Amino acid sequence: MTATLSETLTLLLIEDDDGDAFLVEELLKQAEAPPKITWVRSLRETKAKLTSQIQCVLVDLTLPDATGLEALEQVLAMAPQAAVLVLTGLRDVHVGVAAVKAGAQDYLVKQDIDARLLARAVRYSMERKRADLAHLALVAAELTAKENSRLESGLLPVPLLHTDALRHTTRYLPGSQGSLLAGDFLDTVQTPDGSVHIVVGDVCGHGPAEAALGVALRIAWRTLVLAGQTGDRMLRTLDAVLRAERQAPEIFTTLCMATITPDLRHARMRVVGHPPPVLVRDGRVEVVADTPSGPPLGIFPDAEWRILDVPLGEEWSMMLYTDGLIEAVVGEYKELLGVDGLVDLIRAHGSIDLDRLITHVGTLSDDLAVVLVRRGPE
C-alpha cells in the first residue's frame, strides 16, 4: 500500500551502511510525494551537505566518526531547525529512547520499518519539531514581554508631585515600529522647596539597549534632582552617565528640562538638542524657543547650554514632548506635522488636549512621550 507524505520534503540521511541506506530510500520512494533525499555516510560529510533547506534528518547513531548520543548531539547542534529521526538496531532500542530524551523527535528500529511506518514517523517528527519551535518562540516572546514591561515601568515612573495647583498628564505611545522599545523617557519631581522639575528625553535608536539607557538616564536625572543638583552641572553628569552606559559612541540623547518656581509663575528651561516645548498662556499658543539651548548629550564633551527664562503667569499650559509627535505624518498629502503644524493644531483646538491631539495626528512613525502641565481652570 502506498505510504502518505502530503508535502514534498528535503531529507538528509546519515547512514554508513549501504544496505540500510538503500532500504530507507526505497521505502520513502513509495510515499505519495517522495522526498528529496541527500545521503551521507559520516558527520564529516554531514557538515558539507547540511543546508537550511533540510527539513528532516534521519540518522544512524553508529557512524565512523561518532556513535551514540555524541553523534546525536552533534547533529542537533548542526541542524537546530530540522526534525531529527533516529535509526537504531534491535539491540539499541534503549539508545533510541535516550535519544528522544536528548532532543530527537522520534526513533525507529530498522528491522521494524515499512513504508507506512517510515512515512508516518517522518511526518510525526516534522509536526513535533514545529510544535517545539513554536513553544520556544512563545517562551521567548513571554520573556521579552516581561523584560519590556520592566523597562517600561522604568521609563514611566510615578511623578513625585505634591501640589494640587497643577494638573499633570502624561502619554507614552509606541510608533509604527511595533513592539520595539525606544529610549523615550519622562519624569516629574517636586522638591521640598516647592519647585517642580520636569524632563522629557529621547535616546536615539530603538531596542532594549536604548530603552535600558533611557531608564538609566531617567533614574540618574531623578536622583540628581533629589540631591539638589540642577542646571549645567546636572547635564554634565548625565552626559557622563550616557558615555559610560551607551553601547556605541554614536549614540546620543536629546532632552528638555524645565524647573517651575515654587510660586508656579516662572520656568527655567534647557532645550538640549530637543524639540521646543509648546506654551499656552493668555490665550496665545507659542513655542518656547526657536533654537535649542545647546547640543544633545553625548556629542561634545565641553558643551554648554544656555538657560531659557520663561514667564508663565497665573493661568498656563506647557507641553514637553519627544519628536515622535512632530514627525507624525498628517493630512491628505502625508506631510510631517512639524512644530508649526503642532502649534496650528493646538490653536485650532483652542487648548492642549492630549487625547484629541494624538487622535488627530493618527499613526505615529516614532515613539512618543509627552508631559502636559497645566495651571488654572480647564
Query: What pLDDT shows up at residue 1?
Result: 39
Q: Answer yes or no: is pLDDT of 307 > 50.
A: yes
Number of domains the chain contains: 2
What is the SS3 assignment for 301?
A: coil
The answer to whether residues 269 and 310 touch, using CB atoms and an 8 Å cutoff, is: yes
Mark whether 74 and 219 lie in a shared domain: no
Provide mean pLDDT across the span 17-41: 87
129 with 164, same domain: the answer is no
At 160 the pLDDT is: 94
Q: CA separation (Å) from 126 to 27, 118, 179?
A: 18, 12, 30
Average pLDDT, whole number, for the chain?
86
Of the residues 106, 137, 168, the one at which a domain ends: 137
Same domain, 189 and 90: no
Instruction: Of 61, 70, 127, give the one whose Cα is nearest residue 93.
Output: 61
Please tell me whether residues 203 and 287 are part of one structural domain. yes
Question: Using one digit for the tens of pLDDT, what is the confidence trace for 257-303?
Answer: 999 999 999 999 999 999 999 999 988 999 998 778 899 999 998 89
Residue 143 lies in a domain: no
121 and 161 belong to one structural domain: no
Domain membership flag for residue 147 = no
Which of 137, 168, 188 delimits the end of a domain? Answer: 137
Confidence (pTM): 0.63
Supply the Cα-derived Rg of the chain in whole angstroms.
Answer: 32
Nine-digit cell string for 156: 514611566
All 3 cell numbers of residue 364? Answer: 505615529
> Do 192 and 231 reside in the same domain of the chain?
yes
Residue range(s) defining the domain that contains residue 242: 156-375
Q: Does any domain span residue 50?
A: yes
One domain, residues 117 and 235: no
Asked, for residue 1, whether it belongs to a domain, the answer is: no
Q: What CATH number should be reported for the domain holding residue 193?
A: 3.60.40.10
Same domain, 191 and 238: yes
Whether residues 17 and 110 share a domain: the answer is yes
Sheet arrangement for strand 166-173: 166-173, 368-375, 316-321, 278-281, 284-287
Question: Are both 231 and 293 inside the same structural domain?
Answer: yes
Instruction: Answer yes or no: is 308 within a domain.
Output: yes
Q: How far apart are CA 222 and CA 330, in angstroms?
A: 35
Residues 118 and 267 in one domain: no
Q: Please write the tens of the pLDDT for every residue from 114-144.
A: 888 888 888 888 888 888 888 787 777 676 6
Looking at mean pLDDT, say which of 67-76, 87-96, 214-223 comes out highest: 214-223
Which has more pLDDT, 288 or 112? 288
Confirm whether 219 is domain-assigned: yes
Q: Of 137, 171, 196, which one is at a domain's C-terminal end?
A: 137
- The answer to whether position 354 is within a domain reads yes
Q: Residue 183 belongs to what H/E stretch? A: strand 182-190
Considering the domain architecture, whether residues 207 and 124 belong to the same structural domain is answered as: no
